[in-house]
Every structure is written in C-alpha cells, then in structure tokens.
Chains A and B, each alone.
Chain A
Amino acid sequence: MDILMMLATTRRVLEQLRHDRRSIALILVVPALLLTAVYFLFENEALPSGAPRTFDRVGLMMLAIFPFVVMFLVTSITMLRERTSGTLERLLTTPVHKADLLFGYGLAFSIMAALQSLVATAVAYWVFDLDIEGPPGFVVLIAVINAVLGVALGLLCSAFARTEFQAVQFMPVVVVPQILLCGLFVARDRMNDALESISNVLPLTFSVDALQEIAANAEATEQMWRDAAIMGAIVLGVLVLASLTLRRRTA
C-alpha cells in the first residue's frame, strides 16, 4: 500500500469525472430530482392526524438507495473501461499495488458520494422538511457507506463483464433484488421466510435498517452502529474479492 499512489489514483479518477459533465449531473443532480418526484408522489396522501408522512419513510430510504445505484453504475463502467482499454494491464506492470488502485477508486467515488448525499439530504431536509428523530449527519454517513458498497460491487462485477452492455446487465441482477428486499416496499418481518432470509444477508438491508434506527431515535443507537459496522465489513470483503480479479499475469 502506497498512499501517494492511492491519492494519485483518486485524483486521476476525479479528474476524469471532471471532464464528464453528464456523469457529474447524474451523481449530484439526479438523486435530488428523483427525491423531488418521490415527494410529489405522496403529496396528496390522506393521513390520519398525527400519522407520519410516507415521504419521511420512503424519502429517507431513497437517500441511501440512490448513492448505491448510481455509484454501482458509474464504477462498474469506469472499471470495465479500465480493463478493456489496456490501462489496467499497463498499470499492473508498474509498481502500483492493487490496493492503491481499489482504495484510490473507492476514495474518489466516496468523495463524490458524500457530495451527492449532502445535496440530496439538504434538499430532503430544507425543501421537503424531512421529519425524522435522528441527526442528518448520520443519514449522510449511511449514504456514504452505501455508495462505497456500490463502488465495491461495481469494481467486482466489472470483472465478469466484457462489454459495457454486459456491465449494465448486472443492474437487475445485483441491484434490483436488494432494493426489492431491503424493506422499502414490504417490511421485512412481513415477508415470507425464504425472502426474509435472503433479505437478511443482502448488504442494502443493513443500511435501510440503520436509517430506520436513525429515523426513530434522536441519538445513535447500538443497532445503527452495528448495521454500519456490518456494512463496512461487507464493503471490505467485496473489495478483497475485487482485488483477486486484478491479475498481473494473464493467459
């Protein structure tokens, strides 16, 4: 591990992104727009007095899901390009360590994810008066961990795709099941046993659980920290798997 090479990689990835306005818009603006759409979807719901708005539940979860989806997409394509263009092979002939590359990528996209969730969370709080018990700082923290999870899975999945078309095909396979089963549509304890046990091992489940803890409690709970720690462990595990797909010597 070499911090300078890692930072050079982070800087390079951010610089590449800087030249790509559309991707920046995808990362920073689109989640806030989608959140706006979610708000207006539930604008006219009839609530019994005192009942929490659906937006406070669904909008909050969206704050974790957007960074996951967007970062998965952006990372898997970027890394695939790196693999197919020959730049990865070239890099692996230099002294750079695999960890420098992966963590360099991870850091660059985490920075973008932090910016993204700052924008989206700010919109949720200030424009749409998101009403939850816990502090917004924790929401941003969970969103960033989720984004890094998207980055890690994207790095890993890129190894199993040959074209950008194939890379995008991982969206319905890797991303959609997690969204379906994370507790957004149906509370997890009301799922049948099979689905619930699958949902128990999907990474996104832990972040939705953590967000529900934040929504319900003014202070950070032990459960929230546990969820965050499990997410962190999963991210590290996936990054290790991704590093195994980076081979200096190939057939």
Chain B
Amino acid sequence: MSRSAAEITGRTHDGGAVAARGLTVVRRRVPVLRELDFAIPAGQITGLLGPSGSGKTTLMRAIVGVQRVTSGSVRVLGLPAGSSALRHQVGYVTQSPSVYPDLTVEGNVRYFGAMHRQGAAEAAEAIAAVGLEPQARQKTADLSGGQLSRVSLACALVARPRLLVLDEPTVGLDPVLRADLWGRFRAMAAQGTTLLVSSHVMEEASHCESLLLLREGRLLAQLTPAELSRRGHSADLEKAFLHIIQEAGEERGPAAEDRAAQDGSVR
C-alpha cells in the first residue's frame, strides 16, 4: 500500500481540490507521468516543482482536462477532470502566453471573459489585477514579454475560477513584478481560490504552502517548504531539492525502480 499524498501533508481527501490516483500518461510510447497519487488542498497555493522535462506541464494539462490520460484518474472539485461543468471553474494559463497579439489587452480579456459570461467591469478588474491598466488599450503585440504573460493571466482571472492552474507564470518577470504576482496569488488563495503554480526555480517554492516535487514523471514527494529544507538538510531549497533527488536515486537503484514508482514518495 503506497503512502498517499494526503497522509504526507496530514490532510484528508475531502478538502482536496484535485485528487489523482495512479495517474499515468504515455506519449508516443514514452512514459511522461508514472502512477501519480496526490491530493491538492483547496484554498492554498501548491507549487509544482521539478526540472524541465519532468512532466509538470503534462500534469497540469491532465488536471485542466486537455491531456489524454493513459490510465488512472484525476478528479477536480469532485468531478472527473475535463468535465464540462468544470469549464467555468478551472482557469489555465499556459507557459507561453496564449493571447491574440493583434487585439488590444482589453479586447483579449473581454473576449475570454465573454466565454464565461463576464462583462466589461470584470474585464477591467482583471486587467487592474495584473497591473496593466495603463496598457489596456494597447495592441498586445506591442507589449513586452512580461506584460504579455500578464495579459494571459488576466484572461484567466476574468473567469474568476475556483481552481487556477498556472504554468511557470513568473518566467521572464523582473523581481518586483514577481513579488507582486505572488502577493496577488496569496490574496486569491486567502479568498478561497486554489492555485497550482509550476516553476523550475526552487526559490519560488517558499511562496507555496504545499509542494509537489516531480522528477522524470514520478512524484518524489509532497511536502511543505519547511519540510523540504529539513529533509534536504539545507535552508537553500534548491540544494534541498537536489539532495532529495540524489537520495531518491540512491534508494531506488535499477532493481527497485518499480517499487519507487509505486511508492511515489520519499521517506
């Protein structure tokens, strides 16, 4: 019997916004996600961390319901991921900004808002939330990279989702903006929104209440930043993560690979 994520974080499945069981994705015969079991608590910021290529985006896509799943299941807010009832409640911001460059900022946010029956007021609010009011009437193509990703974020915020899935939202942002965004995420979580934020920068882990550590499609651990630095024997989360990866590698070895995949967690 594998130790479930809920036991690790000391939470029950009941309060979870997302619950995955045996989630496996194989793409062109290459396993991308292997037997993931975890629960994401509601109303918190959960960080999804791991090196590039570890399956973060695929996992997010599975939660949002756009990824074909090979086996296992993901339930989101009590429903199977991708259910049509979830489309009003789950927001997804892809890694590269998916907005229309030939529309104004306002045009973009209003269009995605219209898909959720939100009007001009909600669009203006979402634009203000990402600090783009001065650029609202500018063509999106004329904005900087960081501004572009904030437009993309605003297009998700306008729907006021209960679960917001953000794929590397802070890449390419300057430190001031990054701090600003994390502040914004915390405020949203305080209001009850569940956030799942991926990053390959370990520093960002400290902003999260719970962390999912992913490596080569396996869940290394689910823990809090404090637990991470304790288990990794370092206050530097980057070093702590590397330590845990090393440990997992030693423990697993080639013969024990299957057991580790089953286990999905680090002791």
Asked if B137 is at the interface (CB within 8 A of a chain A CB), the reply is no
Are A8 and B68 in contact, CB atoms less than 8 angstroms apart? no
Interface flags, A66-109, vs B, CB<8A=1, else 0: 00000000000000000001110111111110000000000000
Are B67 and A248 in contact, CB atoms less than 8 angstroms apart? no
Are B115 and A5 in contact, CB atoms less than 8 angstroms apart? yes
Q: Which residue, B66, B101, B139, has most C-beta atoms of chain A within 10 A?
A: B66
Interface flags, B37-74, vs A, CB<8A=1, else 0: 00000000000000000000000000011111000000
Asked if A190 is at the interface (CB within 8 A of a chain B CB), the reply is no
Tell me the residues in window 107-131 of chain A with beta carbons closer than 8 Å to chain B beta carbons.
none
Cβ contacts under 8 Å, B116 to chain A: 94-95
Quick one: closest A residue to B101, CB to CB?
A85
Cβ contacts under 8 Å, A93 to chain B: 64-66, 87, 90, 92
Given the interface pairs A8-B115, A248-B65, A251-B68, the reply to whether A94 lies near B103 with Cβ below 8 Å is no
Chain B interface, number of residues (Cβ within 8 angstroms):
31
Q: Is the interface of B mostly helix, strand, loop or mixed?
A: loop
Q: Which residue, A5, A91, A249, has most C-beta atoms of chain B within 10 A?
A: A249
Asked if B182 is at the interface (CB within 8 A of a chain A CB), the reply is no
Asked if B98 is at the interface (CB within 8 A of a chain A CB), the reply is yes
Q: How far apart sit A94 and B161, CA to CA, in the bound complex (Å)?
A: 11
Interface flags, A226-251, vs B, CB<8A=1, else 0: 00000000000000000000001111
Q: How far apart sit A91 and B111, CA to CA, in the bound complex (Å)?
A: 10
Asked if A12 is at the interface (CB within 8 A of a chain B CB), the reply is yes
Cβ contacts under 8 Å, A24 to chain B: none
Asked if B247 is at the interface (CB within 8 A of a chain A CB), the reply is no
Q: How far apart sit A16 and B111, CA to CA, in the bound complex (Å)?
A: 12
Q: Which residue, A11, A16, A86, A93, has most C-beta atoms of chain B within 10 A?
A: A93
Cβ contacts under 8 Å, A15 to chain B: 103, 107
Cβ contacts under 8 Å, A8 to chain B: 111, 114-115
Asked if A20 is at the interface (CB within 8 A of a chain B CB), the reply is yes
Quick one: closest A residue to B64, CB to CB?
A93
Asked if A26 is at the interface (CB within 8 A of a chain B CB), the reply is no
Set A12, A248, A249, A251: member contacting B111, Cβ < 8 A: A12
CB distance from B107 to the nearest CB of A (A): 6
Interface flags, A1-40, vs B, CB<8A=1, else 0: 0001100110110011001100000000000000000000
Are B66 and A12 in contact, CB atoms less than 8 angstroms apart? no
Tell me the residues in window 149-194 of chain B with beta carbons closer than 8 Å to chain A beta carbons.
155, 159
Query: Can you spell out 19 A-B residue pairs with CB atoms less than 8 angstroms apart?
Result: A5-B114, A5-B115, A8-B111, A8-B114, A8-B115, A12-B100, A12-B103, A16-B100, A16-B103, A87-B99, A90-B155, A93-B87, A93-B90, A94-B116, A95-B84, A95-B115, A248-B82, A250-B67, A251-B67
A: which residues have CB within 8 A of B? 4-5, 8-9, 11-12, 15-16, 19-20, 85-87, 89-96, 248-251
B: which residues have CB within 8 A of A? 27-28, 64-68, 82, 84, 87-88, 90, 92, 94, 96, 98-103, 107, 111-112, 114-117, 139, 155, 159
